[in-house]
Chain A
């Protein structure tokens, strides 16, 4: 039986395999990892009729150029993505996000860019052939674990695909990624380490997403946060969304591949309901923060989850 796979002609800037991440290993230094924008990740799976937790290809900024070898597949692209399908007979098609499509042997998919956003997903019906490490396919390039031996994809590599079941129907969804106006935060455990003025400035000023942002963390540029207590704490556990402020006063938001332990004071934590949209902010984007209570954050997550459920149910 011939193998079914993508030949990587161009790997893209940061193309990895992700699922919903791994749990239970923070205590040995493995963060959760997983898809940065989980809503777009689950939509991608639903569009090709997969189980919602099936591993997908995640790309950032410029995506990969892939050639299909060994058979036909059904796949889908989610996010705000420009892409083209280059048919074997040399015809070119403009790709449409949120609509599954078939690729024939010899066709190529060229993912050009993530427009005004960072991450996008390519799902493949029946999934990929990869290895799980510590309960998840998610690639963590820091610890070198997960799919593709913990590395991002390189040129001339192959991405092995499970043989697609022949029966399928094209599914689609009308969906537009909404812009987020405020990133809502809950006060952090070291909130009172910072001056009153800085506590207020953190929500009245505008911050800018720095170029030094990746799957581990998002650095912010803007008014310095003044620490009046101690610029170090005894190292302790972190979770994604935590905003640490090192001695230089420039906040860093922990993202999915963050170090599991940190020693900088925490001014705030981004609420779970705003995390997907936070990760999609490109360098240079302006951010405004807003403090809310734990109760409000819990309600907002409930609403966000219901909304995601409704979106999934609209896929026809």
Chain B
């Protein structure tokens, strides 16, 4: 449930669902997101769900902050509603060229390469949100023993398709971008497809993701 609604500047509502980050909380955020989207409220410009927050930006000449807050506070979410979700299987190629931080992970986590890869591939990950850059999925939670901070100096360019981990999360760089996550491998799949305007993102909030390993030859065959 929304614990508190404040303003983010003069043109956005900041809905706070509480401090903790977990799948149950995030599912609530996603349900609110879906509900508000379905209401098609005149003057709502963007609705941005994240782990435990929902930000709703508005056009002040069409709806006031106060009026929109009133509408949001009245929304009732059905706790038992199931979200439509899918399992997305994503190939990952792990080698010296693509796995930019595997050696760093080995030394910092004090684990063998094989252990890191095996542990990483053994779990199904939940998609909490998409964004930052187009289509980038924020996935979790990775195993306790793989958790590591961001690079202290972020890379200026992380190659497109790179799969990175930090703390309890994992993401996929849908475009070349600056970034500080620990890069473990690369996927040949197109994560954001602008030609498909109705369904441009491969992974959506609420989906599950499984990674499977491919070698360089398969990577090149699959490369989109």
Interfacial residues, chain A to chain B (CB-CB below 8 A): 23-30, 32, 133-134, 142-145, 150, 186, 188-189, 234-239, 241-242, 259-262, 266, 269-272, 294, 297-298, 301-302, 305
User: A237-B131, A269-B9 given as contacts; is B50 within 8 A of A133 (CB)?
Assistant: no
Contact A186 B130 (CB under 8 A): no
Which B positions have Cβ atoms within 8 angstroms of A? 6-12, 14, 21, 33, 45-55, 57, 60-61, 64-65, 129-136, 138, 174-175, 177, 192, 194, 197, 200-201, 205
C-alpha gap A266/B8 in the complex (Å):
9
CA separation between A52 and B117, bound complex, in Å?
55
CB neighbours (8 Å) of A302 from chain B are: 60
Contact flag A298-B10 (CB < 8 Å), given A29-B135, A237-B131: yes
- Compute how far the CA of A262 lies from the CA of B48 in the bound complex, rounded to whole angstroms: 11
How far does the Cβ of A74 sit from chain B's closest Cβ, in whole Å?
Answer: 29
Are B134 and A237 in contact (CB-based, < 8 A)? no
- Which B residues lie within 8 Å of A294 (CB)? 7, 10, 65
Q: Is the CB of B49 within 8 A of A237?
A: yes
* Alpha-carbon distance A270/B50, docked complex (angstroms): 22
Evaluate contact between B46 and A32: CB separation under 8 angstroms: yes
Partner of A242, one of B6, B8, B134: B8
Please, which residues of chain B bring their CB within 8 A of the CB of A272?
Answer: 9-11, 60
A235, B10: Cβ atoms closer than 8 Å: no
Neighbour of B7 across the interface among A23, A25, A133, A186, CB < 8 A: A186
Q: How far is the CA of A242 from the CA of B9 in the complex (A)?
A: 7
Residue of A nearest to B33 (CB): A27
Decide: A236 and B51 in contact? CB cutoff 8 A.
Answer: yes
CB distance A25 to B46 under 8 Å?
yes
Which B residue sits closest to A271, measured CB to CB?
Answer: B10
> B201: which A residues are within 8 A, CB to CB?
28
Contact of A260 among B54, B61, B132 (CB under 8 A): B132
Q: How far is the CA of A236 from the CA of B114 in the complex (A)?
A: 34
Q: Which of A23, A24, A29, A261 contacts B192 (CB 8 A)?
A: A29
Q: Which residues of A contact B133 (CB under 8 A)?
A: 29, 142-143, 259
Chain A residues whose CB sits within 8 angstroms of the CB of B7 once the complex forms: 186, 294
Tell me whether B130 and A26 are in contact (CB under 8 A). Answer: no
Q: Which of the residues A238, A241, A261 comes within 8 Å of B129, measured between beta carbons?
A: A261
Complex CA distance for A24 and B56, rounded to whole angstroms: 10
Which of A23, A30, A142, A272: most chain B Cβ within 10 A? A30
Q: How far is the CA of A25 from the CA of B48 in the complex (A)?
A: 9
A239 x B11 contact (CB < 8 A): yes
Given contacts A26-B57, A27-B48, contact A301 B14 (CB under 8 A): no
Q: List 17 additional A-B contacts (Cβ < 8 Å) besides A26-B47, A26-B57.
A: A26-B131, A27-B33, A27-B49, A27-B205, A28-B200, A29-B131, A29-B134, A143-B175, A144-B194, A145-B194, A186-B10, A234-B52, A234-B53, A235-B50, A272-B9, A297-B10, A298-B65
21 A-B residue pairs with Cβ-Cβ distance under 8 Å, sorted by A, are A24-B46, A27-B130, A27-B131, A28-B130, A28-B135, A29-B131, A29-B132, A142-B134, A143-B194, A186-B7, A234-B53, A235-B50, A236-B55, A239-B11, A241-B11, A242-B8, A271-B10, A272-B11, A272-B60, A298-B10, A298-B65
**Which of B48, B53, B200 has most A Cβ within 10 Å?**
B48
- Measured CB to CB, the nearest residue on chain B to A293 is B10
A32 to B55 Cα, complex, angstroms? 14
From B9, B14, B174, A270 is in contact (CB under 8 Å) with B9
CB B206 to nearest CB in A, in angstroms, measures 12
A141 to B49, CA, bound (A): 24
Determine the distance from Cα of A238 to Cα of B9 in the docked complex, in whole angstroms: 10
CB neighbours (8 Å) of A24 from chain B are 45-46
Q: List chain B residues, Cβ under 8 A from A188.
A: 8
- Do A29 and B136 touch across chains, with their CB atoms under 8 A apart? yes
Partner of B6, one of A142, A189, A259: A189
Give chain B residues whose Cβ lies under 8 Å from the Cβ of A29: 130-136, 174, 192
Q: Are B48 and A261 in contact (CB under 8 A)?
A: yes
- Shortest C-beta distance, B111 to chain A (Å), equals 25
Write the nearest CB–CB distance from A230 to chain B, whole angstroms: 11
